[in-house]
Amino acid sequence: MSIKNQVVLIGNLGGDPETKVFDSGSKNAKFSLATNETFKNDAGETVNQTEWHNIVVWGKRVAVVEKYLQKGSEVCITGKLTYRSYEDKDGVKRHITEIKANEIVMLGGKKDAPDANDSTDDSKEEE
């Protein structure tokens, strides 16, 4: 049995996706995703907790993200947890945690909007 690096999140976009085109012609889209959890604390008070996640999308899914997603859109993201680091302009090493989206399902949006999935996605195991 192999263990996969897989994350599933349901949440809302915190802002409009930002698209970047590289010299090679490939594109990516990035956006923040807010997930919410509501629970009762030890005092019996209802607590709403929001977590923010950095999402990056590559390939054919970028066109769908550009066309259909905007701030507030509710989506279900399935992807891979990734880490990277870089040095900023002041020489300080920065670390970033991102979700590389393999599958995006739009929830509660336009009914004619397709899922932002690539049918040739080989990251899924066959049952």
Give the separation between CA 85 and CA 52, rounded to whole angstroms: 18
Say what the pTM is: 0.78
pLDDT at 105: 94
Q: H or E element: which one contains 13?
A: strand 7-13
Q: What is the DSSP string of 101-112?
A: EEEEEEESS-TT
pLDDT at 117: 52
Question: b/e per residue, 67-92, with b = 16+ CB within 10 A?
Answer: ebbeeebebebbbeeeeeeeeeeeee
pLDDT at 12: 96
At 55-66, the pLDDT tens digits run 999 999 999 999
Q: Which residues of the chain have pLDDT under 50?
A: 111-112, 118-127
Hey, what domains does the chain have and what are their CATH numbers?
Answer: 7-107 (2.40.50.140)
Find, among 55, 62, 35, 34, the residue nearest to 98 by Cα: 55
